Amino acid sequence: MPRRILAALLAAAFLGGASLAGAQPARAQSDSDTLTISQGVDADTLDPLTTPVTTTDNITFQIFDGLLAHDPHGKLLPALATSWKQISPDKWEFKLRHGVTFSNGDPFTSADVKFTVEKVLDPAFKSQKRNRVSTISEVLTPDPYTVIYVTKQPSAIMPGRPYDLRIVDAKYWKEHGDAYMADHPMGTGAYVLKEWRKDDRIVLTARKGYWGGDAAVKTVIFKPMPEAASRVAALQTGDTDIITNVPTQNAEQIANGRTTKLGTVRSDRVLFIAFNTQKPGIQQNVYFRQALNYAVDIPAIVKTVLKGHAYPLQNGPIPPGFVGYDPKLPSYSYDPAKAKELLKKAGVTGPLNLTLWSPSGRYNMDKEVAEAVAGQLSAVGVNATVRTQEWTNYVGAVVHKTMVPMYLLGWGNDTYDADDTLSSLFTSTYPISTWGTPETDKMIAEARVETDPTKRAALYAKVLSVVHEQAPWLFLFEYQDLYGINKRVDFQPRTDELIICHDIAWAK
């Protein structure tokens, strides 16, 4: 029986938690050097400069490099830059690696770094990564292997997100133009694109002579599978080697499988429901937004839907351990009576019908979480209908702010600093933010350049106090990420959800 058919027939059993401990992997011998990875969604582009979506980064990060890298726990490491230092309050210097080439043979130089930063800064390019470089006023290139970022003001944050921003070939880009980059990526990374069949597979092959050493895995296939049951079935039958977002009801089964193991890590991603306050509707009323935060029992959703594999947000959108986290800030708790009282203040006098938008398959149990929230809201007279879209369309709707009145989204912050979350999601003019005030915009901007840690913490505390009171989100939880892994693979999950194939080896 073909493996695809077998996987489909078994899908329902997996969601029910049935065991296939005795199932035999069906991998052909010819696949022994090929690693297959299944995420819930396909990449939305292979241009590394436009989108901050992690599932897309997991493709582009194989093809492109940054100036720096992160280890699995967030420690900075050399990459295209071998050293870095702040040479004055408003200047950061990066010394570049010699002898690096793009996969077409073009040499990597400081001109490519300058082009990359200026492309992302260009308002006409409309990059969703612009906040990564928005503190940079100028990029100096005193020689081919030195880059200096000049910031608008002295800054407490290293500018340019040098471990996140992927460097592109200026000559290649100028020759072909912006649109060409979406499906013709060409970088300095460990892999090159061999094939992209949209919504079916992306095939990457390892480069020989990669500056970081040749990869152990020679061929990587990213195969999107929106249905969680299909991912589990494919892992059990050997059709795929690594799956993301293991359904919580299958975690124990995979952990105890004969050919599978479970990888877990506390994620830097939080899940939330954003209220689109920039569009007309009941969501513009602060009492309504507060009411919904009191109407939902987050610990109960974590316990029942996620089987405990998450951490409720206790003090706003910033998780513990991040710069800017303040344990003294208040939090919402489950209080249906208070929710009903606030709904009356919002002018809701009878049953209210509205839409809760959600992706399906992008985040672990995302649709199920949305449905659980909707079920709890019904108890206070808010009838929320959960509607889903295919992920690429969903990303477009987030960018164009068309989902009203509220939508589920996740945000991974690998800086471990409040700035990335606040400047991206709570600044009124940012492309994917649906809330902000002139006062909080100003405080967030001030905090970015405040070099005194005490004063900076005080600014964040003020901003987050307003965020709590205004409730622009329905605050949910921080994930524990779950990966299903074939035992033939040596793979270490990362807090930032990135899968770096160059770091993966075959188990001994």
For residue 19, name the pLDDT band (cuts at 50, 70, 90): very low
More confident residue, 23 or 320: 320
pLDDT by residue (tens digit) across 422-436?
999 999 988 899 999
State how far the alpha carbon of 197 is from the alpha carbons of 63, 207, 221, 387, 508, in Å. Answer: 17, 21, 11, 27, 32
Q: How far apart are CA 333 and CA 71, in angstroms?
A: 36
pLDDT at residue number 31: 62
Phi, psi torsion values for 416, nearest 5 degrees? 55, 35
Residue percentage of the chain with pLDDT more than 70: 94
Q: What angle do the packed helices 438-449 and 453-470 form, to 10 degrees? A: 160
pLDDT by residue (tens digit) across 217-230?
999 999 999 999 99
Angle at Cα 105 formed by Cα 103 and Cα 110, nearest 5°?
90
SS3 label, residue 133? helix
Average pLDDT over residues 114-120: 98
pLDDT by residue (tens digit) across 457-483?
999 999 999 999 999 999 999 999 999
For residue 74, name the pLDDT band (cuts at 50, 70, 90): confident
pLDDT at residue number 66: 98
pLDDT by residue (tens digit) across 258-283?
999 999 999 999 999 999 999 999 99
Number of alpha carbons in the 13 Å side-chain half-sphere of residue 366: 32
Domains and CATH numbers, the chain: 3-47+183-265+481-506 (3.40.190.10), 65-179 (3.90.76.10), 267-480 (3.10.105.10)
pLDDT at residue number 431: 87
How is 77-121 classified by DSSP, letter by letter?
Answer: EESSEEEEEEEETTEEEEEEPTT-B-TTSPBP-HHHHHHHHHHHH
For residue 451, name the pLDDT band (cuts at 50, 70, 90): confident
Q: Is the pLDDT of residue 314 over 60?
A: yes
Q: How far apart are CA 23 and CA 258, in angstroms?
A: 8
Q: How far apart are CA 489 and CA 65, in angstroms?
A: 23
State how far the alpha carbon of 81 is from the alpha carbons of 97, 140, 339, 505, in Å. Answer: 5, 15, 52, 25
Average pLDDT over residues 139-159: 94
Q: How far apart are CA 324 and CA 464, in angstroms?
A: 9
Average pLDDT, the chain: 92
Average pLDDT over residues 56-67: 98
Q: What angle do the packed helices 286-295 and 453-470 form, to 10 degrees? A: 90
Q: Is the pLDDT of residue 376 over 80?
A: yes
pTM of the prediction? Answer: 0.86
Q: Is the pLDDT of residue 8 over 80?
A: no
pLDDT at residue number 107: 98
Q: Is the pLDDT of residue 9 over 60?
A: no
Q: CB of 49 within 8 A of CB of 146?
A: no
